[in-house]
Amino acid sequence: MYCLIHFGPDTYTDKEWGYGDEDPRIITPTEFSAMQIVGAAKAGGFKGIVVVAKHHDGFCLWPTKTTGHNISQSPYKNGKGDLLQEYRDACNKLDMKMGVYCSPWDRNSALYGKPEYVTEVYRKQLEELYTHYGPIFISWFDGANGGDGYYGGAREVRKIDRSTYYGWPVTWAIPRKLQPGAVLFGDVGPDVRWVGNERGHAGETCWETYTPHAPDAGKEPGNGYTKDHEGTEGQRDGKYWMPAECDVALRPGWFYHKDQDSKVKSADTLLSLYYQSVGRGACLDLGLSPDRRGLLNDNDVNALKQFGKIINETFAVNLAKGATLTASNVRGGNKLKFGPQHLLDNDRYSYWATDDKVTTPELIADLHSSTTFNIIRLRENIKLGQRIEEVAIDASRDGKWEQIATATSIGGNRLIRLPKAIVASKVRLRITKSPVCIALSDFGLYREPGK
């Protein structure tokens, strides 16, 4: 989980997409505090932030050499400000990761639409960001390309070919070289894909594998030019390992609007989104919107804090940890137990593997006493691929099994949230469909506070 931070001209014009003709002098964050913003994200349990360094309006939050349309033209710190550096420092202090979003579409640049925009402006901006503000853990390549804009005063519609204009393979080579540890996000990956909606949820069935398709037959897909709804479930036979990113804003809009102060998502809503994204093997990318002061509103801070607290409390104790595990088959006839992080198979593998031909094994966890839980966690050893297609879970209180849940597409992390807490002394996991023998690295039972 990480937060996507939108702040810029739109914060002051009350818009979501700036036209590109905004006067930098409107950017006057009198109390900007990266520490407050990053600290609130951390309290929410998020591991990092992605700074929208440039949105579609073309305004750069760092003193770039590529355009005058940047923070040095605003009164902020008398033209000596650099919000990216402030975020970098806050992330270092708070041990949070940092990523960047630099919009390919630029409604300010006179060069937009010409090849020089890509070679002299956009790619140079990326080089600056990767060179000065690393380590970068993710780079966002947004797909929005709306057409009209200021474009240096031309005020016209400019259309580009989304598959070819940005020369993605050449553009991606820049972070590969300067930030080799960064994953690259886009509708076409290449590392992680957009989930296809901005409501923050993956499909109930969600494959980590995916092949981006162009909407028109015979064409190459590109960012902003895919059958994006296919990202919600991915494809079982997808060509690439490209897990889903579920982006959603904490408020109705990505940027701050005063009239949305009372529409901040509650901790409960965030929690359901968590189970529908992280719980389905995807990432949750939550949008935060600092206000005109350069701070998050108290409502936003409080929702994050409460959400973080619930997540922490829920996953503090794996209630299955003391259980005796009996599996119908373990590779090589070994015994299973819990290790500090993973399931252990006689210390040979840090996961439960079955013999090659066994694809529908069972695992019984004897909890030794009545245990109350409402969350079941399953994690595959994804280094060996996403193998399990379907599972069922049964609970027994007094010797009689009762099915309590089923799930599809397990992957790196599958959380099953039961509508009601269950009391059981034994739990049985049945793998009901898998094309090959399984490799399960984690089995957990948890209880949400108050459930």
Q: Which residues bind to ligand FUL, rule: CB under 6 A?
A: 4, 16, 142-144, 247, 254
C-beta of 8 vs 361, nearer to ligand FUL: 8
83-94 vs 34-43: helix crossing angle, rounded to 10: 40
Q: Return the residue nearest ligand FUL (CB atom).
A: 144
C-beta of 289 vs 354, nearer to ligand FUL: 289
What residues contact residue 91 under an 8 Å CB cut-off, 6+ apart? 38, 48, 49, 97, 98
Give the nearest distance from C-beta 328 to ligand FUL in angstroms.
Answer: 46
Closest CA to 211 of 195, 189, 196, 184: 189
Give the nearest distance from C-beta 225 to ligand FUL in angstroms.
Answer: 13
For the record, the structure tokens of 133 come out as 């503000």
C-beta of 144 vs 421, nearer to ligand FUL: 144
Give the nearest distance from C-beta 247 to ligand FUL in angstroms.
Answer: 5
C-beta of 7 vs 62, nearer to ligand FUL: 7
Give the nearest distance from C-beta 96 to ligand FUL in angstroms.
Answer: 19
3-state class percentages of the chain: helix first, strand second, coil last, to nearest 5:
25, 30, 45
Calpha distance 290→181 (Å, rounded): 28
Q: Please give the helix or strand (H or E) that residue 375 lies within, else none.
A: strand 362-380
Whether residue 325 contacts residue 444, with contact meaning beta carbons closer than 8 Å, is answered with no
Query: How many other C-beta atoms lie within 10 A of the C-beta of residue 360?
Result: 16
Give the nearest distance from C-beta 54 to ligand FUL in angstroms.
Answer: 11
Give the nearest distance from C-beta 4 to ligand FUL in angstroms.
Answer: 6
Give the nearest distance from C-beta 140 to ligand FUL in angstroms.
Answer: 8
Closest CA to 368 of 329, 425, 408: 425
Calpha distance 364→379 (Å, rounded): 16
Rounded to 5°, angle at Cα 135 from 256 and 210: 75
Q: Please give the helix or strand (H or E) that residue 405 lies within, else none.
A: strand 401-408
C-beta of 256 vs 352, nearer to ligand FUL: 256
Chain position carrying tokens 């949750």: 284
- Which residues sit opposite 249 in a β-bridge? 287
Give the nearest distance from C-beta 248 to ligand FUL in angstroms.
Answer: 9
C-beta of 8 vs 411, nearer to ligand FUL: 8
Q: Please give the helix or strand (H or E) that residue 271 lies within, else none.
A: helix 267-277
Give the nearest distance from C-beta 300 to ligand FUL in angstroms.
Answer: 17
CA atoms within 13 A on the CB side of 422: 24
Give the nearest distance from C-beta 43 to ligand FUL in angstroms.
Answer: 22
Rounded to 5°, angle at Cα 197 from 235 and 121: 100
C-beta of 101 vs 351, nearer to ligand FUL: 101
Calpha distance 335→360 (Å, rounded): 17
C-beta of 222 vs 411, nearer to ligand FUL: 222
C-beta of 144 vs 170, nearer to ligand FUL: 144
C-beta of 42 vs 56, nearer to ligand FUL: 56
Give the nearest distance from C-beta 16 to ligand FUL in angstroms.
Answer: 6
C-beta of 253 vs 444, nearer to ligand FUL: 253
C-beta of 62 vs 254, nearer to ligand FUL: 254
What residues contact residue 49 under an 8 Å CB cut-off, 6+ apart? 2, 3, 4, 5, 37, 38, 41, 87, 91, 96, 97, 98, 99, 288
Give the nearest distance from C-beta 399 to ligand FUL in angstroms.
Answer: 52
Calpha distance 44→301 (Å, rounded): 9
The residue type found at 297 is N
What residues contact residue 302 under an 8 Å CB cut-off, 6+ apart? none
